[in-house]
């Protein structure tokens, strides 16, 4: 055991954790919006809209995240037309490419989680709202969405943890996140176990925090109080 | 389309073999995972606190740390660990382990943590009466497990194991960083030499979709088979 290396690499890895957290928070924020949008599209009665939303989630859940990042980072640069548009300012940056890939990926999973939450809302609750003369729009925003969010908290907590692990793939497109820096230290010092313990410890700590925050929220918003 | 031709002119045959490699790694990893699950599930359900701790440590660490980090640990640390063990037995030559073995070990350990959780959940949801009834009938522990508990467990476990399989299949794409030529690595090579990354990575995505679709069909059949009578 090389404890010196563990001590010297710790500040570097903590610095890289900031990149990981940035990637995670930005992609979760946009992913939640996309997820909610597609969950609503999935509940639409129009078969084309419905199938489109299903296709999106099937495509992104059926392929590895690595392929999605590579298509966006290496693949899209190949299209001549894209290079001439202003979109290229975003797409030439590995940071934004990673965020786009993570956002679309977590959006697909989130849409599935929210859809099943919407479908498990008891019809009686909506009927009760209707019989009180509340408009459909308000039933949706004030009754269905809050219940669905509460219902999907445990599954969404898992998704946040999965996404946190997913951000490690940003290191494959030259971003120096926690895994990227860990790999760099391993390949220069050839001490994989020490670095794994420190980097893995930081990841586990983040998992622990996320897990407990979700648990707290679950308790706070539980139905039976 | 000529990019996908078989033979020397195209990448069809290379990608075909790469697909077979992905399937081989996934199946090997899944089996290694079952092996780990068979060891760690009893530990997690054991009466002894210390054994519980070992089981929980395994599943928590592996499920809380990114797959890529575990793969790097095996990739950079694998041959070192083997050489250390060999040096105890008096063998000091350099040992290089095959990328296939390192890769499937790494993915197998990850998949094992998920399988452990699935088996634990399935075993816990079997009615206590089943254990008691078989005890009362004087059935030996071995027969009890294989003829009574296991069939019921499989019915409950198969839907969740199918999720584990999907995760394992997608995780194999990460082994490409170690240089094992599976779908992702082959697409990377092809994209590099033809300068057509969009096509090859999209094709890789199609291959993965096909694999997940086909495995879903097969697993659905198994599910029907094991839920007969329900």
Kindly determine whether residue A186 and residue B72, on different chains, have CB atoms separated by under 8 Å.
Answer: yes
Distance CA A34, CA A30 (A): 6
Task: Determine the average pLDDT of the residues in B104-124.
Answer: 93
Query: What pLDDT is stored for residue B171 in this prediction?
Result: 93
Contacts of B208 in chain A (CB under 8 A): 62-64, 67
Tokens found for residue A94: 């590995």
Tokens found for residue B171: 């995780």
Distance CA B226, CA B154 (A): 7
A169-188 residues touching B, CB cutoff 8 A: 169, 171-172, 179, 182-183, 186-187
Residue found by looking up tokens 């390192």 in the block = B102
Distance CA B212, CA B124 (A): 29
**Tens digit of pLDDT for each residue in B31-58?**
999 999 999 999 998 889 999 999 999 9
pLDDT above 90: percentage of residues in chain A = 57
The DSSP output letter for A171 is G
Query: What pLDDT is stored for residue A224 in this prediction?
Result: 60
Q: What are phi and psi of B11, to 5 degrees?
A: -110, 10
Kindly determine whether residue A187 and residue B177, on different chains, have CB atoms separated by under 8 Å.
Answer: no
Tokens found for residue A118: 């919407």
Task: Determine the average pLDDT of the residues in A49-54.
Answer: 93
Per the CB < 8 A criterion, the answer to whether B203 and B188 are in contact is no
**Tens digit of pLDDT for each residue in A130-166?**
999 999 889 888 888 888 888 898 899 999 999 999 9
3-state secondary structure string, A108-135? Answer: HHHHHHHHHHHHCCCHHHHHHHHHCCCC
As separate numbers, helices (DSSP H) first and strands (DSSP E) second, chain A gives 11, 0
Per the CB < 8 A criterion, the answer to whether A63 and A75 are in contact is no
Residue A165 sits at the chain B interface (C-beta within 8 Å)? yes
**Tens digit of pLDDT for each residue in B133-169?**
988 998 888 888 888 888 888 888 888 999 999 999 9
Residue A16 sits at the chain B interface (C-beta within 8 Å)? no
Interface with B, mutate which of A19, A21, A64 (most B CBs under 10 A):
A64
- Residue A14 Cα distances to A11, A170, A176, A192, A200, angstroms: 5, 16, 12, 17, 12
Q: Is B7 domain-assigned?
A: no
**Quick check: A225 pLDDT over 60?**
no
Task: Determine the average pLDDT of the residues in B82-102.
Answer: 81
Residue A161's SS3 state is: helix
Q: Is B6 domain-assigned?
A: no
Query: What pLDDT is stored for residue A95 in this prediction?
Result: 92
Mind telling me how many Å the CA of B205 is from chain A's nearest CA? 6
With 0-12 / 13-18 / 19 or more C-beta atoms within 10 angstroms meaning exposed / middle / buried, residue B206 is middle
Question: CA angle at residue B200 from B199 to B206, to 5 degrees?
Answer: 90
Domain that holds residue B102: 14-226
Residue found by looking up tokens 């198994």 in the block = B222
Q: What are phi and psi of B29, to 5 degrees?
A: -65, -40
Distance CA A172, CA A179 (A): 9
Instruction: Count up the domains in chain B and report the number.
Output: 1
Computed from CA positions of residues B81, B86, B89, B93, in that sequence, does the dihedral angle turn out positive or negative?
A: negative
**Tens digit of pLDDT for each residue in A71-86?**
999 988 888 787 778 7
Interface with A, mutate which of B19, B22, B74, B76 (most A CBs under 10 A):
B76
Kindly determine whether residue A179 and residue B69, on different chains, have CB atoms separated by under 8 Å.
Answer: yes
Task: Determine the average pLDDT of the residues in A118-131.
Answer: 89
Question: A44: pLDDT confidence band, cut at 50, 70 and 90?
Answer: confident
Q: What are phi and psi of A75, to 5 degrees?
A: -75, -50
Distance CA B73, CA B67 (A): 10
Query: What pLDDT is stored for residue B2 in this prediction?
Result: 67
Computed from CA positions of residues A212, A218, A221, A224, in that sequence, does the dihedral angle turn out positive or negative?
A: negative
Distance CA B148, CA B131 (A): 8
- What is the residue extent of each domain of chain A? 3-220
Q: What is the mean pLDDT of chain B?
A: 89
Question: How does A13-40 read in b/e, with b if 16+ C-beta sit within 10 Å?
Answer: beebbebbeebbebbbebbbebbbebbb
CATH number where B80 lies = 1.10.3720.10
B208 against A219, higher pLDDT:
B208
Interface residue ranges in chain B relative to chain A, Cβ cutoff 8 Å: 60-61, 63-69, 72-73, 76-77, 80, 170-171, 173-174, 176-177, 184, 187-188, 191, 195-198, 201-202, 204-205, 208-209, 212-213
Distance CA A171, CA A182 (A): 10
- Give the fold, CATH level 3, of A3-220: MetI-like fold (1.10.3720)
Residue A120 sits at the chain B interface (C-beta within 8 Å)? no
Per the CB < 8 A criterion, the answer to whether A27 and A165 are in contact is no
Q: Is B210 domain-assigned?
A: yes
Question: B114: pLDDT confidence band, cut at 50, 70 and 90?
Answer: very high
Kindly determine whether residue A192 and residue B80, on different chains, have CB atoms separated by under 8 Å.
Answer: yes
- Predicted TM-score of the model (pTM): 0.88
Virtual torsion, Cα A20, B178, B100, B63, nearest 10 deg: -10
Q: Which residue of A has its CA nearest to B192?
A: A74
**Quick check: B130 pLDDT over 80?**
yes
B15 against B97, higher pLDDT:
B15
The DSSP output letter for B229 is T
């Amino acid at each position: 055991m090389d404890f010196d290396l563990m001590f010297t690499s710790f500040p570097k890895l903590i610095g890289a954790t900031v990149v990981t957290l940035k990637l995670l928070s930005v992609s979760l924020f946009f992913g939640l919006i996309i997820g909610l949008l597609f969950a609503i599209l999935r509940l639409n009665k129009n078969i084309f809209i419905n199938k489109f939303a299903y296709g999106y989630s099937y495509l992104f859940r059926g392929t590895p995240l690595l392929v999605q990042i590579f298509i966006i980072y290496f693949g899209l640069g190949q299209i001549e037309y894209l290079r001439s548009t202003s979109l290229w300012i975003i797409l030439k940056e590995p940071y934004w490419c990673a965020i786009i890939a993570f956002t679309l990926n977590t959006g697909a999973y989130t849409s599935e989680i929210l859809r099943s939450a919407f479908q498990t809302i008891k019809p009686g609750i909506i009927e009760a709202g209707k019989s009180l003369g509340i408009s459909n729009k308000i039933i949706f925003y004030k009754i269905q969405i809050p219940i669905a969010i509460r219902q999907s908290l445990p599954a969404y907590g898992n998704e946040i943890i999965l996404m946190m692990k997913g951000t490690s793939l940003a290191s494959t497109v030259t971003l120096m996140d926690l895994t990227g820096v860990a790999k760099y230290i391993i390949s220069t010092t050839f001490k994989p176990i020490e670095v794994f313990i420190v980097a893995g410890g930081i990841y586990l700590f983040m998992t622990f925090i996320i897990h407990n925050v979700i648990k707290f929220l679950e308790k706070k918003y539980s139905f039976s109080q | 389309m000529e990019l996908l031709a078989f033979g020397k002119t195209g990448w069809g045959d290379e990608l075909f073999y790469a697909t077979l490699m992905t399937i081989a790694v996934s199946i090997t990893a899944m089996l290694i995972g079952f092996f780990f699950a068979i060891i760690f599930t009893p530990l997690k359900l054991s009466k002894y606190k210390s054994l519980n701790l070992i089981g929980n440590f395994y599943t928590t660490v592996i499920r809380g740390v990114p797959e890529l980090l575990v793969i790097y640990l095996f990739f950079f640390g694998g041959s070192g660990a083997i050489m250390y063990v060999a040096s105890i037995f008096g063998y000091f030559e350099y040992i290089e382990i095959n990328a296939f073995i390192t890769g499937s070990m790494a993915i197998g350990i990850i998949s094992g943590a998920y399988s452990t959780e699935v088996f634990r959940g399935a075993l816990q949801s079997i009615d206590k009466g089943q254990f008691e009834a078989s005890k009362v009938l004087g059935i030996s522990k071995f027969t009890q497990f294989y003829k009574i508990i296991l069939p019921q467990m499989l019915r409950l476990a198969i839907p969740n194991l199918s999720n584990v399989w999907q995760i394992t299949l997608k995780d194999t794409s990460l082994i490409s960083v170690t240089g094992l030529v599976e779908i992702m690595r082959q697409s990377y090579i092809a994209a590099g030499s033809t300068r057509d990354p969009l096509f090859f990575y999209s094709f890789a995505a199609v291959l993965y979709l096909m694999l997940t679709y086909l495995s879903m069909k097969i697993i659905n059949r198994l599910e029907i088979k094991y839920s007969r009578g329900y």
